[in-house]
Chains A and B, each alone.
Chain A
Amino acid sequence: MNIRITLNKLLIYTFVQSRKLLKNCYPQLLAICGFFLLCGLVLILRGQNPLEFYTTILVSGFSSFDEFGSVLFNSTPLIFTGLAVAIGYQCGLFNIGCEGQLYVAAFAATLVGIYLYLPSILLVPLCIGAAMIAGAVWGAVPGILKAKFGAHEVINTIMMNFIAVALTNFLVTSVYQEPNQMIPHTSKIYENAMLSRLGSYIPYLPKSNLLNDSFVIACVCVVFCHIFLKYTRWGYELRLVGNAPDVAAYGGIKPGVVIIWVMALSGAIAGLAGVSDVMGYRYRFLDSFSSGWGFTGIAVALLGRNHPFGVFAAALLFGLLNKVALDIELLLNVPRGLFLAGQGLLIIGLVSIESLKKKNK
């Protein structure tokens, strides 16, 4: 009897919650459906079977623990960049500079990892700390320019992207390149700075799977961001400056100061995406290693409604797309640009639907 009541309550709870979710998130769901339909349409136009496309996605993403682990591995950097964009967005800032922030952060982590010989309990936090500081500095510069001079952060973060790419390219090719190598990358970081693979302690997941501790860091980061935004004073200040800067100023909050530290925090989180590559995957800095994670982060944040948990879910979707893009390219001969183009349309469609929703209210 008791069990039945509990079950009933649970059913009603899930029903109410999913209805709420559907009501709030239908633009997102609509955009995702549109995205997949569009991809199918392109496949038909190419004279291929769209069903083959969908089954390839399912098989390549979910057919084994190994495959799903790779999906999570591909989502890891996107969780970080998505969170970085989302945090900025909640404060009314548009951080398009994640790409640059993750490059300088990755380089800082690499330098610490190469030159310091410490036990891993010290070295790993040091590397991560160095990366976060580098990312924070890179993010704070546009923040300061905005707070002090009123220069729009969008153009400045983009300029900082180009500067970061050129700077790391210069450092890798002329100063820190691994000797006797043609590839523009640094030497490997010290073993103690490497993050371990999840496969080494999780059963079912093969040891060769690339999923590593940075995914755990990403999950922690998601929870941290949620608590930070919702339950701390700073999170409140951040959201208040984003939603009503005048009210914030009247309440004794200095919007300029908040803008600077939010951009720094956003940059630090974006920097962790660089950490996930250097310390979790390649163990060295490779020139222009990021495949547009900073920009995908924008789509991730928008699709996740700038909410940490939403970002997590959206990052999984885009991680899946990044993972299967390779198989789609190999098996169906469809260039990965299709996903990028689809991403652009998805964002446009999504913001259009959302503003229509707002208009109709």
Chain B
Amino acid sequence: MTIIDLIPSTIRMTTPLGYAALGGIYSERSGVINIALEGLMLIGAYGYVVGTHATGSAWGGLSVGIGLGILFALLHAVATITFHAEQIVTGVAINILAIGVTDYLTPAYERVQGLPEWKLPVIGSYSFLVYLVPIIMLASHVLLFKTPWGLRLRAAGESTEALKTLSLSRAKWQYFGVIMSGILASIGGCFLASDVHYFSEGMTAGRGYVALAAVIFGNWRPLYGIAGCLLFGFASSLELADLWNIPDQVLKIIPHVLTMIVLAGLVGRSRPPAALGKMES
């Protein structure tokens, strides 16, 4: 077992984290804490399996997954942005809701088809979603930091009043941020489900929270965020590697312990958007 053997599993572990983390960046940059990433991923995975089964095509599954993700993100957006509900509480509630809905309507299908795969020399073939990660990462970076739209989105997250002075709507940009997080996180969920070809209860297993830690690790920037996801993805891939006869429960906790250490070490140094979680009174 060498490091090279860990590359494929690292890539497969990083991809769903990467989508969720990019989604989290959009939401948090606009000032809305999004602990609901976990639930958005779960509902995305669920939508993929149900949609693929219903339409007979992986593309149908992807659209249903994204659709459900948008729906759940909208719920979070309406509660937090329009009604000013506490963002962490709503996020946790969305996660509970996602577990409940997927349990209530558990799909009994055995195996659904995966998304189309593209081959890469040496390392193997992966779903096309894997190759989209760096593209979306770069696009997000450009959008957030090089365009006026990105400036406005970030202004929404930095101050409750800034956009108002330009007679722009802060809520509109926050809606955009949260819905983007719904789209991206649910794509991450779709990847998870298409990778294993089935849906199981609680299959996201805390990835949404790990992704959120990657957002903080990456200082709310797409490039560094993906770097954080790679770190966590590598840690999770150890779990599958069966190294040195370490019990798999011990390997399972590595990403979680790593998350806590990273958070403790970095929180003081990384700077969250100034108006994150704040609503004008």
Residue of chain A at shortest CB distance from B252: A166
Of the listed residues B93, B95, B103, the one surrounded by the most CB atoms of chain A closer than 10 A to its CB is: B93
Q: Does A159 contact B (CB under 8 A)?
A: yes
Q: A166-B249, A337-B104 are in contact. Are A344 and B83 (CB under 8 A)?
A: no
Q: A154-B88, A155-B263, A338-B104 are in contact. Are A344 and B97 (CB under 8 A)?
A: yes
Residues of A within 8 A of B253 (CB): 162-163, 166-167
A162 vs B247: C-alpha distance when bound (angstroms): 15
Within 8 Å by CB of A337, from B92, B105, B206, B257, lies: B105
Q: Does A149 contact B (CB under 8 A)?
A: yes
B249 near A167: Cβ-Cβ < 8 Å: yes
A347 near B93: Cβ-Cβ < 8 Å: yes
A355 near B256: Cβ-Cβ < 8 Å: no
Residue of chain A at shortest CB distance from B75: A348
Within 8 Å by CB of A155, from B78, B86, B213, lies: B213
A170 near B247: Cβ-Cβ < 8 Å: yes
Can you report 13 A-B residue pairs in the complex whose CB atoms are below 8 A from each other?
A148-B264, A149-B268, A159-B260, A298-B96, A299-B96, A337-B102, A337-B103, A338-B100, A344-B93, A347-B92, A348-B85, A348-B94, A352-B78
A151 vs B35: C-alpha distance when bound (angstroms): 15
A193 vs B264: C-alpha distance when bound (angstroms): 39
Residues of B within 8 A of A154 (CB): 35, 88
- Min CB distance, B93 to chain A, in Å? 4
Residues of A within 8 A of B86 (CB): 351, 355
Q: A302-B89, A344-B97 are in contact. Are A152 and B256 (CB under 8 A)?
A: no
A344 near B260: Cβ-Cβ < 8 Å: no
A172 vs B268: C-alpha distance when bound (angstroms): 38
Residues of B within 8 A of A169 (CB): 249
Residues of A within 8 A of B85 (CB): 348, 351-352, 354-355
Question: B253-281: contact bitstring with A at CB < 8 Å (1 yes, 0 no)?
Answer: 10011011001110110000000000000
Residues of B within 8 A of A158 (CB): 206, 209
Of the listed residues B89, B101, B250, B267, the one surrounded by the most CB atoms of chain A closer than 10 A to its CB is: B89
Q: Is the interface of A mostly helix, strand, loop or mixed?
A: helix
A158 vs B260: C-alpha distance when bound (angstroms): 10
Q: Does A125 contact B (CB under 8 A)?
A: no
- Min CB distance, B27 to chain A, in Å? 15
Q: What residues of chain A have their CB less than 8 Å away from a CB belonging to chain B?
A: 94, 96, 145, 148-152, 154-156, 158-160, 162-163, 166-167, 169-170, 174, 295, 298-299, 302, 335-345, 347-348, 351-352, 354-356, 358-359
Q: Does B84 contact A (CB under 8 A)?
A: yes
A145 vs B205: C-alpha distance when bound (angstroms): 23
How many residue pairs between the two chains, A and B, have CB atoms under 8 Å in the bound complex?
145
B96 near A347: Cβ-Cβ < 8 Å: yes
- Min CB distance, B130 to chain A, in Å? 25
Residues of B within 8 A of A337 (CB): 99-106
- Min CB distance, B262 to chain A, in Å? 9
Residues of B within 8 A of A335 (CB): 103-106
A352 near B92: Cβ-Cβ < 8 Å: no
Within 8 Å by CB of B79, from A163, A167, A339, A352, lies: A352
Residue of chain B at shortest CB distance from A353: B83
Q: Does B194 contact A (CB under 8 A)?
A: no
Residues of A within 8 A of B84 (CB): 355-356, 358-359
Q: Does B212 contact A (CB under 8 A)?
A: yes
Residue of chain A at shortest CB distance from B250: A170
A159 near B259: Cβ-Cβ < 8 Å: yes
Contacts A149-B264, A167-B249, A344-B95 supplied; 13 other A-B pairs, CB < 8 Å: A149-B267, A150-B268, A155-B209, A158-B209, A170-B249, A335-B106, A337-B102, A338-B100, A341-B100, A343-B93, A345-B97, A355-B83, A355-B85
- Min CB distance, B42 to chain A, in Å? 12
A166 vs B78: C-alpha distance when bound (angstroms): 36
A229 vs B250: C-alpha distance when bound (angstroms): 39
B256 near A162: Cβ-Cβ < 8 Å: yes
Q: Does B98 contact A (CB under 8 A)?
A: yes
**Residues 46 to 95 of chain B near chain A (Cβ within 8 Å):** 75, 78-79, 83-86, 88-90, 92-95
Of the listed residues A150, A159, A170, the one surrounded by the most CB atoms of chain B closer than 10 A to its CB is: A159
- Min CB distance, A246 to chain B, in Å? 16
Residues of A within 8 A of B267 (CB): 149-152
A354 vs B86: C-alpha distance when bound (angstroms): 10
Residues of B within 8 A of A338 (CB): 100, 104
Q: Which A-B residue pairs are the 7 nearest by beta carbons?
A: A344-B97, A337-B103, A340-B100, A341-B100, A337-B104, A347-B93, A170-B249
Residues of B within 8 A of A150 (CB): 267-268
A340 vs B104: C-alpha distance when bound (angstroms): 8
B103 near A145: Cβ-Cβ < 8 Å: no
A342 vs B263: C-alpha distance when bound (angstroms): 33
- Min CB distance, A165 to chain B, in Å? 9
Within 8 Å by CB of A159, from B103, B205, B257, lies: B257
B264 near A151: Cβ-Cβ < 8 Å: yes
Q: A159-B257, A337-B105, A352-B85 are in contact. Are A145 and B263 (CB under 8 A)?
A: yes
A344 near B94: Cβ-Cβ < 8 Å: yes
A341 vs B78: C-alpha distance when bound (angstroms): 18
Q: A94-B88, A149-B268, A344-B93 are in contact. Are A159 and B101 (CB under 8 A)?
A: no
Residues of B within 8 A of A348 (CB): 75, 79, 85, 90, 93-94, 97
Q: A149-B268, A335-B104 are in contact. Are A162 and B206 (CB under 8 A)?
A: yes
Residue of chain B at shortest CB distance from A302: B89
Q: A338-B100, A347-B96 are in contact. Are A159 and B256 (CB under 8 A)?
A: yes
Residues of B within 8 A of A162 (CB): 205-206, 252-253, 256
Question: B17-29: contact bitstring with A at CB < 8 Å (1 yes, 0 no)?
Answer: 0000000000000
